[in-house]
Structure formats: C-alpha cells, structure tokens
C-alpha cells in the first residue's frame, strides 16, 4: 500500500472554536447587517475570511520571538532579517514596515505622482488604492484566460505581454514610474505567474526603461507552482527558484502576514540606492526608524524564521495540498470554482453557482451569507461590493467575475474542517434553485464600502 501524504507538522497548542446553531447565526448575521466583517470571531466556526495574519507560527518562530532585540536603533533582529532578505531575494536595502500596504505607501510616495499609470496583473485593492489615492491609474494587463473560470491555463496570474507593450508604447516614460507584478495574483484567484512570463515582463521593462517591482505577499506559493508546472524547474529547490524570480525585479513590497507566516509585518526591499534614500524619509515619517519600521524586534525574528520555513518544499506541499483537497471536493460536487485551483484560496464562481440571483443584488455576498448560515463558515465577497462605485459616475462597477473567496490560513485548520466547508457548500448547491434574491444596500461608506456596508434582504 502506498503511504499517504500527511502534514509536515504535529500540533502543540490548540484554540477552541464554537460550533453555533443556525438560530444563533441567523440572529448574529442580522445584527451584523449581513456584513461578515461585522461578526465577532467567536460567532464564526471556521474562519476563511483571509489567510493574512491568521496562520499558526512554528515552535521555532515562537522561540525566536523570545530572543527579539527591542533596541530602537540597530537591533540584531533587524540585521538578521536584512541578511535573510539579501540571501533569499538578493536585495541590498530593506526597510521593515507594519504591513504590506505600508510598504506600498512608502514606495509609491517616492515613485508615483498625479497622472501616472502603473501597469500590472490585477493589482490588489490596497495597491490600487494607493495608486488611485495619488490620482494615478492602475492598468490591469492580466491574461484573458484569468477571466474564464473553466479555462485550465496553468499560469492565470501572467501578464498579457502585448497589452503591456501597448501601454508602454502609449504612455511616455515619465508617466510610467513602475510596473507591479503581483505573485501569486490574489485578485485572479491566487494564480501564479510563470518564470517565462516574469522574464518577458522584465525584457519589456528593460527596453522601455521602466522599473519592475514584485508585490510579494505569496511569493513562495508562486515558486511552488513554477516548480510543479513549468518545464525545467522540477529539479530546482524553492529557494533557487525564488532567487531566479527576483533576479528580474528592481524591488519588492511584501505583506509578511501571508508567506512570512507572521501575524503582522511587512518589508520594502530594493537594490537602487536612490530609491532607498528617499524611501527612508517616508519610512521614518509613516512607519518608524529605519531599523524597525512598523515591527517589533521579536516580530522581525519570527519573520526571519518564517521566510526559511515558507521556502521549504515540505511546508509548501502541505499547504497547497490542503487548498487543493478542498477544491477537488468542490469540483467533484460540480460546484463552479476558478480553475486550476490556486495557492491560498478557493474562489467560488458565484454567478454560475446562483444563476437566478441578479448581480444588482450582490450575488457573491448572497452566497457568503448562505454559507455562514449553513455551517458557520466565514468567507469574503470579491465582487460588486468590493469593486465599489465608479468615482466619476457613482454607479456600481460590476466586475466580470463575482467570487466568494475561501482563504485558508496557514497551518491552522485540518482537512476535517475542509470537509465541513465542502459539505456546507454542497448543501447550498443542492438547493441553489430556491435562492432567487440577494440583498440591497442600507448604508455604505464613500470609499472601501465593503468593510462597513450595511445590507438588508431584497
């Protein structure tokens, strides 16, 4: 008999979770105005809202926290992390920040000005937010395959090279301060970018003399997919692949709450001394002194160890196999999801799941609420609520795809929990024809409305 694959860890500490009743959940979600962000975590049984800052640290990471150096300036924790970043990504300069969006804020304060355009592959919301906040534009050049959930293209995070070329030909160099490549591409479903595509983007960037920066939240998961799916990479280690990927980048922003496997933190790193000098000023203003930014010494220590662990094949195999374990069950049940299955989450195609619910009634949010009511599981809407209104016309923007994202925290839940998620979704899918209506908005904020929106039943 073949020995089955199992997790590369055993559990040393547990946290109880409460399995509520449907009556309780009906009351709680009503009180939360049908917004899952308003729920208390104690009202959630399995929390798949995000994989950001929600993972479990290892005993090595907790051990490293005890030896954190909390000196204001020049701490050993900073130098440990700086060395790790140099080793792994090849960048000379590194600034710690409190999370990913802070790295974007600092870097874009240096590079982005009004009227600029920043091409990339489906920029994450905060990246787009920081670009638009500066009255610049984020131009999405993702390959078209990403917008067809049934298409099995293995690198749906890729940039459409012709589209990027067109952007670089259209706008003058002074108006394109950088290209942002998000690896893996969260918004398109945790989908990877191939090494071949990275190289092609870099070639174009060089021809047009535009710097290339990687949004690196899930860089190790991207490397795993290159190792698994791209010809010529099977024999390379994850660390070798990461080094090769980053040999094409001029800099990186990173939320370490994902592939840093810590609960809070981030970095900005680069090789260009002139960027570093300018970024230092903004870092001190917004984050903290250059050797701690937004992070405590103990957190920098935990991140250094996290970067080591996240680039081990055994860890990545465990991680990605769990996401695929859930995804494959859903595919077996006929539930429509973004294919192929990505790295950190399952993206359920809500329009195809609930064909009778109009998009005007927030179909992906409707599915998120149903899943909470059915089994106490919290996912997140990646659809019309998140897409917000057009700033000029104030009309709702309806994205091509309406997703319910089920993001799986690292090393946190077991496959039994995944079985609960799959069964919950299947029960709803079996009675999907009975769900004909969704929700309307009662209250919304002028920007980033999905966090605080209040809804009522249609």
**Residues contributing to the site for ligand F0G (CB under 6 A):** 50, 52, 99-101, 124, 126-127, 182, 186, 215, 217, 255, 257, 266, 407
Roughly what angle, to the nearest 10 degrees, separates helices 313-332 and 297-310? 70
Q: How far is CA 118 from CA 140, 193, 210, 334, in A?
A: 9, 18, 10, 38
72, 333, 443, 451: which is the annotated catalytic residue?
72
d(CA 216, CA 268) in angstroms, rounded, equals: 10
**Among 282, 314, 276, 320, CA closest to 408:** 320
**Beta carbon nearer to ligand F0G, 102 or 241:** 102
Question: How big is the CA angle at 34 (ends 417 and 424), to the nearest 5 degrees?
Answer: 25
In angstroms, what is the minimal distance from the CB of 116 to ligand F0G? 19
For residue 450, indicate whether it is catalytic: yes
How far is the C-alpha of 408 from the C-alpha of 333, rounded, in Å? 20
Is the peptide bond prior to 184 cis by the omega test (within 30 degrees of 0)? yes
Q: Which residues contact 113 (CB under 8 A, 6 or more apart)?
A: 134, 136, 177
**Which C-beta is closer to ligand F0G: that of 215 or that of 381?**
215
Q: How far is the CB of 360 from ligand F0G (least distance, A)?
A: 25
Residue nearest to ligand F0G (CB): 100
Tell me the backbone φ, ψ of residue 38, rounded to 5 degrees. Answer: -85, -5
Structure tokens, 67:
């030896």
Closest to ligand F0G by CB, 182 or 301: 182
Whichever of 124 and 439 has its CB closer to ligand F0G, that residue is: 124
18 is catalytic: no
Q: Would residue 308 show up in a list of annotated catalytic residues for this protein? A: no
The yes-or-no answer on residue 72 being catalytic is: yes
| DSSP H or E run through 139 | strand 137-140
Q: Helix (H, G, I), strand (E, B), or coil: what is residue 369? A: helix
Out of 69, 116, 215, 299, the active site residue is 215
Shortest distance, position 35 Cβ to ligand F0G, whole Å: 16
- Smallest gap from Cβ 137 to ligand F0G, in A, equals 18
Question: Nearest-CA neighbor of 358 among 433, 442, 454, 439?
Answer: 439
Nearer to ligand F0G, 128 or 171 (CB): 128
The span from the CA of 423 to the CA of 433, in Å, is: 17
- Alpha-helix runs per DSSP H in 287-345: 297-310, 313-332
Give the shortest CB-272-to-ligand F0G separation in angstroms. 21
89 part of the active site: no
Whether 385 and 402 have beta carbons less than 8 Å apart is answered as no
Q: Looking at 9, 79, 86, 125, which residue is catalytic? A: 125
Residue from 156, 257, 258, 339 carrying the catalytic annotation: 258
Nearer to ligand F0G, 127 or 149 (CB): 127
For residue 418, the minimal CB distance to ligand F0G (Å) is 19
Contact 270, 235 (CB under 8 A): no
Residues marked as catalytic:
72, 124-125, 215, 217, 258, 450
């Amino acid at each position: 008999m073949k020995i089955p694959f199992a997790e590369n860890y055993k559990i040393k500490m547990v946290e109880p979770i409460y399995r509520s009743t449907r009556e309780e959940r009906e009351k709680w979600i009503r009180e939360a105005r049908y917004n899952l962000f308003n729920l208390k975590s104690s009202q959630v049984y399995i929390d798949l809202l995000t994989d950001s800052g929600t993972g479990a640290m290892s005993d090595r990471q907790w051990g490293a926290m005890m030896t954190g150096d909390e000196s204001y300036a020049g701490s050993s924790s900073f130098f440990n992390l700086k060395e790790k970043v140099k080793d792994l990504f090849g960048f000379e300069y590194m600034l710690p920040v409190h999370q990913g969006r802070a790295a974007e804020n600092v870097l874009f304060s240096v590079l982005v000005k009004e009227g600029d355009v920043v091409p990339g592959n489906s920029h994450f919301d905060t990246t787009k937010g920081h670009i638009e906040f500066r009255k610049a534009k984020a131009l999405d050049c993702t390959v078209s395959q990403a917008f067809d959930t049934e298409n099995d293209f293995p690198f749906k995070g890729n940039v459409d090279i012709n589209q990027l070329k067109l952007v670089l030909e259209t706008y003058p160099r002074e108006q394109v301060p950088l290209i942002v490549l998000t690896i893996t591409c969260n918004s398109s479903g945790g989908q990877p970018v191939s090494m071949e595509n990275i190289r092609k983007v870099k070639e174009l960037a060089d021809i047009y003399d535009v710097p290339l920066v990687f949004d690196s939240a899930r860089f190790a998961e991207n490397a795993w997919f290159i190792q698994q799916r791209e010809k010529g990479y099977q024999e390379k280690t994850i660390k070798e692949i990461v080094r090769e990927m980053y040999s094409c980048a001029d800099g990186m922003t990173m939320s370490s709450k994902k592939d840093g496997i810590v609960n809070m933190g981030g970095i900005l790193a680069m090789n260009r001394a002139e960027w570093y000098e300018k970024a230092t000023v903004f870092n001190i203003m917004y984050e903290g002194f250059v050797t701690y930014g937004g992070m405590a010494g103990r957190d920098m220590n935990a991140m250094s160890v996290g970067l080591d662990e996240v680039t081990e094949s055994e860890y990545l195999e465990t991680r990605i196999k769990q996401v695929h374990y859930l995804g494959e069950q859903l595919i077996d049940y006929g539930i429509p999801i973004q294919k192929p299955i990505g790295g950190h989450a399952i993206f359920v195609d809500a329009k195809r799941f609930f064909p009778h619910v109009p998009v005007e009634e927030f179909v992906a949010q409707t599915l998120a609420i149903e899943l909470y009511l059915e089994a106490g599981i919290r996912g997140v809407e990646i659809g019309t609520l998140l897409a917000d209104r057009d700033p000029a016309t104030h009309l709702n923007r309806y994205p091509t795809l309406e997703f319910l994202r089920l993001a799986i925290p690292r090393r946190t839940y077991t496959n039994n929990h995944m079985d609960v998620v799959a069964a919950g979704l299947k029960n709803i899918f079996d009675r999907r024809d009975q769900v004909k209506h969704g929700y309307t908005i009662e209250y919304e904020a002028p920007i980033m409305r999905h966090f605080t929106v209040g809804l009522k039943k249609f």
